[in-house]
Amino acid sequence: MKILFLEDTDIWISTYTQVLSHFFDCDITQLTTSRGVDKYLSGEKYDVILCDHFLAGSEGTFAYDKARRGEESMNLETPFIHHSSMPCPDIYRGSTKDKNFYTVFKTGKWEELIDLLAELGFTPKSVKEEYAPEI
């Protein structure tokens, strides 16, 4: 599974990367800002985009717009998972009609993310188990 992961907080970068790598065979491209994201979206087709809302100097809404409306985006229908500590999908223009827009909260309950990815057709490497990476 190819994942474009936008996150700027070290603890979340480390934790999400550990969890995703533990449960799935994945190739993660990690960015700390959505500035310049269009070159990734136009140069590569991802299986999933996992994006924080607040990024240093930018917002996840910019990445969403580029994924869905970018002139050369190869990810017009790629599942876009907004991950945040607060609900705010209403500011993602067009997301309420986007069947491939999802929200996962930053709670440390990894089952929500793992279950969503499984629902999207990605098979976990092993049977789901309790997992809390050491931070």
Task: Say if 135 falls within a structural domain.
Answer: no
| Digit-coded pLDDT (tens) for 70-116 | 889 999 999 999 888 776 656 677 777 889 999 888 877 788 999 99
Burial zone of 13 (CB within 10 Å; 0-12 exposed, 13-18 middle, 19+ buried): middle
Total domains in the chain come to 1
Q: Which two tokens stand for residue 80?
A: 């876009």
Q: What is the pLDDT of residue 135?
A: 45
Q: Are 23 and 129 in contact (CB under 8 A)?
A: no
Report the CATH number that the domain containing residue 29 is assigned in CATH: 3.40.50.2300
Q: Is 7 contained in some domain? A: yes
Distance of CA 97 to the CA centre of its chain: 18
Give domain status of residue 132, yes or no: no
Assess if residue 27 is contained within a domain: yes
Question: What's the domain range around 77?
Answer: 2-119
> To the nearest whole percent, how much of the chain has pLDDT over 90?
53
Residues 6+ apart with CB under 8 A from 40: 4, 29, 31
Work out whether strand 54-55 and strand 58-59 pair parallel, antiparallel, or are unpaired: antiparallel
3-state secondary structure 12-46: HHHHHHHHHHHHCCCEEEEECCCCCHHHHHHHCCC
Residue 66 lies in a domain: yes
Q: pTM for this structure?
A: 0.88
Q: Is residue 10 part of a domain?
A: yes
Q: Is residue 59 part of a domain?
A: yes
